[in-house]
Chain A
Amino acid sequence: ENISDFSLNITDCTQVVVPEEVFFTVAAAGILENLLVLIAVVRNKNLHLPMYFFICSLAISDMLGSLYKTLENIFIILCKMGYLTRRGDFEKKLDDAMDSMFILSLLGSIFSLLAIAADRYITIFYALRYHNIMTLRRALVILAIIWTFCAGSSIAIALFSYEAATVIPFTILFPLMMFFILCLYIHMFLLARSHAKKIASLPTSTVHQKTNMKGAITLTIFLGVFLCCWAPFVLHILLARFCPHNPYCACYMSIFHVNGTLIMCNAIIDPMIFAFRSPELRSTFKKMFCCAR
């Protein structure tokens, strides 16, 4: 059969190989880390807050992404060893299920990031009423709605992925959400800046004025990591749909495994930039590990 890479031309783009050990290590690290975050939030009553629930939702979607990759590799190994048949119905359904798990992970990540940004936005702009607007119950309802929607869409996309129409909304959703999240954060920044100016103009202020880089760095890291980890894969899907026979597109698609590894790296980095920033969560971790010893 035919793989474009295996034609005789020596200038072909061959598949870039990522060793399976690397795959499994990265995936396992991602799963473990996010599991720890979930356990810490569940165990510590102080962390039963809407903000941490949204962080948990992000951890779950990261876990699903890594799990998908792990399961896929395991099944391929099983097929290699002959335990699974190649064209069976069961394998086909399994593959469908895994595809939908992966899309669920992507959609879950996007919506969790959106929920976290919206929560922070409400915290800042509706601060007096935050406690009434974002009750625990509402946060759980919002999460339930998000996950139901993601599950439904992922199943629909996986089932109807042969239609051209499903790829387009999927790839439009991605930049749209990023843009929306960016707008929310920029608005927060503008408010912070005006506040800082007001404080600085107080006669009693002893403030040193300088550019504060940390906020900019933090936000750039958030969005930059998400973009760099997911955008390559989204582009892959687009190219596979629209120009599979083009040599340039084929060369891009040959780095598919690197893109998959990037997604798993995202699962490792996300807890570091969201969950581990909270001192409460960090102290919960320390307690967990100290007690375990």
Chain B
Amino acid sequence: MSALRLISNRTSQQALSNSDYTWEYEYYEYGPVSFEGLKAHKYSIVIGFWVGLAVFVIFMFFVLTLLTKTGAPHQDNAEPSEKRFRMNSFVADFGRPLESERVFSRQIAEESRSLFHFCINEVEHLDKAKQSHKGLGLESNIHFQEVPRSSGMFEEDLNCLTKFNIPNFVNTEQNSSLGEDDLLISEPPIILESKSVMQSSHRILD
């Protein structure tokens, strides 16, 4: 009398519509179920279950929305345009075209105290990345996966990059949404860490 055989049984019965058919060797007998004297509606479990599930999902959505609220006040826009930089936190912004200007500054790197990974990926920069990762200036987008994959190479690249004090940059466009955009869909991000925040990174990571 297994639940699973019960399932197969039901399926077969439905398919054969009304014929007395037993698919299973172990046939689970319900016996007649009396539907008399029901206090609540007969589909109450079905309705209750789906309503409960919907409420739970909506509740979860609101909790997550609250969690993603950044809450910080809008920053003043007084700084000169050359200081504008892109911050891309966590996100591979799939489907959004890459912007043409990417400016990182060493200064900003040292100011930045937060450690992060940002996903810096656009497929069309694959070739550029491969060619330029050695002589990496302060402006390039590197796709983590396009960098040669053996861990030895990765370490080498990382050292190379840290030499240039490439900041963790977080991408915010004026018109883009901030922060945890497609947090969960990212390609494995590359971490570019400036020397000045190495310590804080260890603190945060561990």
A residues with CB within 8 A of B? 1-4, 6-7, 9, 11-13, 15, 17, 20, 46, 49-51, 72-73, 76-77, 79-80, 86-87, 91-92, 95, 98-99, 120, 123-128, 130-132, 135, 158, 161-162, 167, 182, 185-186, 188-190, 192-220, 222-224, 227-228, 231-232, 235-237, 239-241, 244-253, 255-257, 260, 274, 277-280, 283
Q: Given A196-B179, A209-B178, does the pair A77, B4 have CB atoms closer than 8 Å?
A: no
Q: Which residue of B lies closest to A259 (CB)?
A: B7
Of A167, A201, A215, A257, which is within 8 A of B183 by CB?
A: A215
Q: List 6 A-B contacts (CB under 8 A).
A: A7-B33, A123-B186, A199-B87, A200-B75, A202-B111, A245-B30
Q: Is B75 within 8 A of A192, CB to CB?
A: no
Q: Is A135 within 8 A of B31, CB to CB?
A: no
Q: Is B182 within 8 A of A214, CB to CB?
A: yes
Q: Is A209 within 8 A of B23, CB to CB?
A: no
Q: Is B33 within 8 A of A4, CB to CB?
A: yes
Rank and list the top 3 A-B pairs by shortest CB-CB distance, nearest first: A215-B180, A216-B64, A161-B2
Of A15, A198, A244, which is within 8 A of B113 by CB?
A: A198
Q: Is A248 within 8 A of B184, CB to CB?
A: no
Q: Is B30 within 8 A of A124, CB to CB?
A: no
In the assembled complex, the Cα of A267 lies from the Cα of B114 at a distance in Å of 39
**B32 contact set on A, CB distance < 8 A:** 2, 4, 7
Q: Is A49 within 8 A of B145, CB to CB?
A: yes
Instruction: Report B11 CB to chain A, min CB distance, Å.
Output: 6
Q: DSSP class of B's interface residues: helix, strand, loop or mixed?
A: loop
In the assembled complex, the Cα of A46 lies from the Cα of B94 at a distance in Å of 17
Residue among A7, A12, A211, A218 with the highest chain B CB neighbour number at 10 A? A211
Q: Is B23 within 8 A of A46, CB to CB?
A: no
In the assembled complex, the Cα of A213 lies from the Cα of B64 at a distance in Å of 9
Instruction: Report B84 CB to chain A, min CB distance, Å.
Output: 6
Per-residue CB contact flags for chain B residues 42-61 toward chain A (1 = under 8 Å, else 0) read 11111001000100110011
Of B30, B42, B89, B112, which is within 8 A of A244 by CB?
A: B30
In the assembled complex, the Cα of A89 lies from the Cα of B55 at a distance in Å of 46
**A252 contact set on B, CB distance < 8 A:** 43, 45-46, 49
Q: Is B70 within 8 A of A193, CB to CB?
A: yes
Chain B interface residue count, CB cutoff 8 Å, equals 105
Q: Is B67 within 8 A of A17, CB to CB?
A: no
Q: Is A216 within 8 A of B67, CB to CB?
A: yes
- Report how many A-B pairs have Cβ atoms within 8 Å: 329
Q: Is A237 within 8 A of B3, CB to CB?
A: yes
- 10 extra interface residue pairs, beta carbon distance < 8 Å, beyond A46-B146, A207-B172: A17-B14, A49-B149, A192-B89, A195-B89, A195-B114, A197-B71, A207-B72, A209-B75, A260-B11, A277-B182
Instruction: Report A259 CB to chain B, min CB distance, Å.
Output: 10
Q: Given A211-B65, A220-B64, A245-B31, does the pair A255, B70 have CB atoms closer than 8 Å?
A: no
Q: Is B57 within 8 A of A192, CB to CB?
A: no
B residues with CB within 8 A of A? 1-8, 10-16, 18, 20-36, 38, 40, 42-46, 49, 53, 56-57, 60-61, 63-65, 67-75, 77, 79, 83-85, 87, 89-90, 92, 94-95, 108, 111-114, 116-117, 121-123, 145-146, 149, 151, 154, 158, 170, 172, 174, 177-189, 191, 193, 201, 205
Of A158, A196, A220, which is within 8 A of B70 by CB?
A: A196
Instruction: Report B128 CB to chain A, min CB distance, Å.
Output: 15
**B35 contact set on A, CB distance < 8 A:** 7, 9, 11-13, 247
In the assembled complex, the Cα of A209 lies from the Cα of B72 at a distance in Å of 6
**A87 contact set on B, CB distance < 8 A:** 22, 25
Q: Given A210-B70, A224-B57, A257-B11, does the pair A123, B4 have CB atoms closer than 8 Å?
A: no
Q: Which residue of B lies closest to A223 (CB)?
A: B60
Instruction: Report B20 CB to chain A, min CB distance, Å.
Output: 5
Of B45, B67, B69, B193, which is within 8 A of A128 by CB?
A: B193
Q: Is B180 within 8 A of A196, CB to CB?
A: yes
**A3 contact set on B, CB distance < 8 A:** 13, 30
In the assembled complex, the Cα of A270 lies from the Cα of B77 at a distance in Å of 42
In the assembled complex, the Cα of A197 lies from the Cα of B70 at a distance in Å of 6
Q: Is B3 within 8 A of A132, CB to CB?
A: no
Instruction: Report B73 CB to chain A, min CB distance, Å.
Output: 6
In the assembled complex, the Cα of A136 lies from the Cα of B201 at a distance in Å of 25
Q: Is B7 within 8 A of A206, CB to CB?
A: no
**B112 contact set on A, CB distance < 8 A:** 199, 202
Instruction: Report B172 CB to chain A, min CB distance, Å.
Output: 5
Q: Is B33 within 8 A of A256, CB to CB?
A: no
Q: Is B170 within 8 A of A199, CB to CB?
A: yes
**A244 contact set on B, CB distance < 8 A:** 6, 28, 30
